[in-house]
Structure 1
Amino acid sequence: MAKFEEVKNGVIFPSGEKNDAFAPYFVGQSYLKTLVADPSLNVGVGNVTFEPGCRNNWHIHHDGFQILLVTGGEGWYQEAGKEAQFLQAGDVIVTRDGVKHWHGATEDSWFEHLAITAGRPEWLEPVSDEHYSNLKK
């Protein structure tokens, strides 16, 4: 049994439906519940839930930013050229405009965060299985 199984049902906000629209940019299964999608605002807010081992591809936010508020489980965040950071509930990540990065669950835990995002994402290559499996807490 994976750690933090309760995350799959949503810790604070509902986990949402399978994240099929963004599936090409993820390794593994994620779920998305959009919380704010007002076109008059230049920011979106979504609750993203990752099954164990799931992570998104490397990506960059152009003309904007991304703030991650970790609400449950255990995960990873990494910026290009830096060591991966182990994440758990209560952690906050700020990704500035133009920074290449990725985030997702650990191999053995569900993971959930709120993503507050402005700008346009540029999706890049997947995080390789070799790179991911070598991460250490």
Structure 2
Amino acid sequence: MGIVLKTDRGCTLAQIKGDLDHHSAKFLRSEIDRELTAKRPSRLVIDFSGVTFMDSSGIGLIMGRYKLMQDIGGDVIVASPPSYIKKVIRLAGIDRLARISDSLKSVLPKDFGSTFSEYAGEGEKADETVKAADK
């Protein structure tokens, strides 16, 4: 399980990779919450295209981030979920809280990421955090 976080133009993109279960959810919650608290974006886009498995912890992850984004005046979009995850999200009623989009590009601000330099500082991209959970 890993996550890439990027914040640009008032939007935070959380790209999740691997299994989203009770083992990884705590790590993902803390990383996303840290980014949202520090950057206070108006939109959180959670990219599910790299998620290979999701249990009910994924529903909790979305619901908790929805509440946090509501507290800071923003919204949540679930982007590119595999069909079985989209079905679970809809059955749980999460689509009433967070918009679901099949296209990641369509929900990001125009030129999102264009402010990231290829080499900022010690070879890391500006405002991009890549983390992996230890299992």
TM-score (norm 1): 0.28
Structure showing the higher strand proportion among its residues:
1
TM-score (norm 2): 0.28
Structure showing the higher helix proportion among its residues:
2
